[in-house]
Chain A
Amino acid sequence: MPQRTMGLRAFIHRMTAPKPEGAPPTGELKMVFIVNHGLKMGKGKIAAQVGHGAVKATLDAANRHPLLVESWLASGQKKICVKGDDAAHLETLEREAQRLKIPTARIHDAGHTQIPSGSLTVVALGPADPSQLEPITGPLKLL
Chain B
Amino acid sequence: MASTPDEPTMALIVRHDLRLSTGKIAVQCAHAAVACTVAAKKSHARLTERWRQSGARKICLKIDNLNELQRLAGQAQSAGLVTHLVKDAGHTEVEPGTITVLGIGPGPRRSIDALVGELKPY
Contact = CB atoms under 8 A, between A and B. Distances in A.
Interface stretch (B38-46, B68-76, B110-118): B38-46
A93 B60 CA distance: 27
B15 to A, nearest CB: 12
A48 B105 CA distance: 14
Nearest to A2: B42
A59 interface: yes
A116 B59 CA distance: 18
Nearest to A51: B33
A54 B34 contact: yes
A51 B29 contact: yes
B26 A47 contact: yes
A55 interface: yes
Interface stretch (A18-26, A38-46, A94-102, A129-137): A38-46
A5 B41 CA distance: 8
B79 interface: no
A143 B25 CA distance: 10
Interface string B36-64: 01100111011001001001101111100
Interface size range of chain A in the complex: 35 or more
Contacts of A47: 12, 14, 22, 25-26, 28-30, 60, 122
Interface size range of chain B in the complex: 35 or more
* Interface residues of A, dominant DSSP: helix
A5 B45 contact: yes
B33 A112 contact: no
A50 interface: yes
Residue among B10, B23, B30, B61 facing the most chain A CB atoms (10 A cut-off): B30
Interface of A: 5-7, 9-10, 33, 35, 42-56, 58-59, 73, 76-77, 79-82, 110, 112, 142-143
Interface of B: 1, 10, 12, 14, 21-23, 25-35, 37-38, 41-43, 45-46, 49, 52, 55-56, 58-62, 89, 121-122
